[in-house]
Amino acid sequence: MPNTFPARDHNFISTLSIELHLCVTWDEYDEEDQNLVTLRLSGSMEDRVPDPPNGDDEESRLAVDRVLM
């Protein structure tokens, strides 16, 4: 999505992406040189989001799946 978010929303988007186990990047550009915010499912090692400090259980993974579906 185009990175037209005010600075106060960056923290919200970053926190939400961690909660949903997504990888967020703020410094990508499209073919028209427009700055983008990119959210990806964590799957590859470079996109891997660290597990929460208390670990990750099956119920948590199912909740994330429900939100993303």
Q: What is the pLDDT of residues 1-23, one digit of tens each?
A: 899 999 889 999 999 888 888 88
**pLDDT score at 45:** 41
Q: How confident is the model at residue 43 (pLDDT cuts 50, 70, 90)?
A: low
Residues 12-39 have a mean pLDDT of: 88
- 16-21: list long-range contacts, CB under 8 Å, 24+ apart: 17/49, 18/49, 18/52, 19/64, 20/64, 20/67, 20/68, 21/49, 21/61, 21/64
Q: How confident is the model at residue 48 (pLDDT cuts 50, 70, 90)?
A: very low
**In the chain, domain spans:** 1-47
What are the backbone angles phi and psi of residue 49, rounded to the nearest 5°?
-95, 135
Is residue 64 within a helix (H) or strand (E), and if so which, with residue range? Answer: helix 58-68
